[in-house]
Amino acid sequence: MIIPIMLTLWISFHKWSMFTPFGEMEFVGLDNYARATSSTHLRAFQNTAIYVGLSMVITIPLAVLISFLLYFPKLHGRGLVRVLLFTTYVVPMAAIAIIWSALYAPNYGPLDSLLATFGIDSPGWLSRPSAALVSLVILNVWQMLGYYVVLLVSGLTQIPEETFEAAKLDGAGPIRQAISITLPLLRESLVFVGLMTFINSIQVFDPIYMLTQGGPANSTNVISFDIQRTAFQNGLAGEASAMAFSLFILIVAVGATLGLTTRRRK
């Protein structure tokens, strides 16, 4: 792990095309980091921020709600539902991309056909800049939701049943129990789910590469795809390394902040 990270840092201070030997690198200092602030790269950072923000705002509350519905009502078949939810996480991305490209297909796709029955025009799921990024967020939520639900259900099992029984005897209803007991005691699991959502979202690459190639009009060009395109298509390995190392520092900083916050609250 350490060697690739340090190698990326070293390359980020050089001008290198990846088609020449290491010995022909040209040291440029912080120039690559300055170029990482160009309009194209800033657009990628902006798209990534929107993608990460929407993914977290939608996924985490939805995962909490579903985990509560799967854990507290003592219903038969809860285990089967958990397994079905988790399968979306283990299905290969190539298969998921094929399925969702068919769902998002214009005119004849199931989603457009359903909207047409209600007289609603197609939003242009992957063809319009205003809808493409949101469409990929929906795909991400569908794929990752089951994984986070399983994590939260596992966290709920660590809360003693006696705590809920005592709350019921004190007259606390389900909502009061959720706010005052369940969510505070579930804090560590929520922090972990939030961190995983952040990391998985900020590193999104496969659906962009398979479905949109950063389009239309760079509306889905995110950091990870921009790094790949900068390095392998444009041959600017130093510039791509500067972006990659900046992304690494950002992830470490967020993870450390969440970790310290959790420790201080214990």
Is 181 part of any domain? Answer: yes
Is 264 part of any domain? Answer: no
- Of 18, 30, 12, 24, residue with least CA distance to 239: 12
What's the pLDDT at 165?
Answer: 78
Which backbone phi and psi does 15 adopt, to 5 degrees? -100, 120
Dist CA 98 CA 1 (whole Å): 33
Query: What is the enclosing helix (H) or strand (E) of 15?
Result: strand 14-15
CATH of the domain at 45: 1.10.3720.10
Q: Percent of the chain scored above 90 by pLDDT?
A: 50
Q: Which domain holds residue 227?
A: 38-235
What's the pLDDT at 262?
Answer: 67
Is 211 part of any domain? Answer: yes
What's the pLDDT at 266?
Answer: 57
pLDDT in tens, 68-92: 888 877 767 777 888 888 888 888 9
Is 77 part of any domain? Answer: yes
pLDDT in tens, 202-217: 999 999 999 999 989 9
Is 19 part of any domain? Answer: no
Is 2 part of any domain? Answer: no
pLDDT in tens, 219-236: 999 999 999 999 988 889
Q: How many domains does the chain have?
A: 1
What is the rounded average pLDDT for all residues in the chain? 88
What's the pLDDT at 86?
Answer: 85
Is 262 part of any domain? Answer: no
In a 3-state reduction of DSSP, which class is residue 94? helix
Is 245 part of any domain? Answer: no
pLDDT in tens, 92-104: 988 999 999 999 9
pLDDT in tens, 108-162: 889 999 998 898 888 989 999 999 999 999 999 999 999 999 999 989 888 888 8
What's the pLDDT at 264?
Answer: 63
Rounded average pLDDT over 161-171: 78
Rounded average pLDDT over 14-34: 87
What's this model's pTM, rounded to 2 decimal places? Answer: 0.89
Residue 62's alpha-carbon distances to 24, 79, 177, 192, in angstroms, are 52, 18, 18, 15
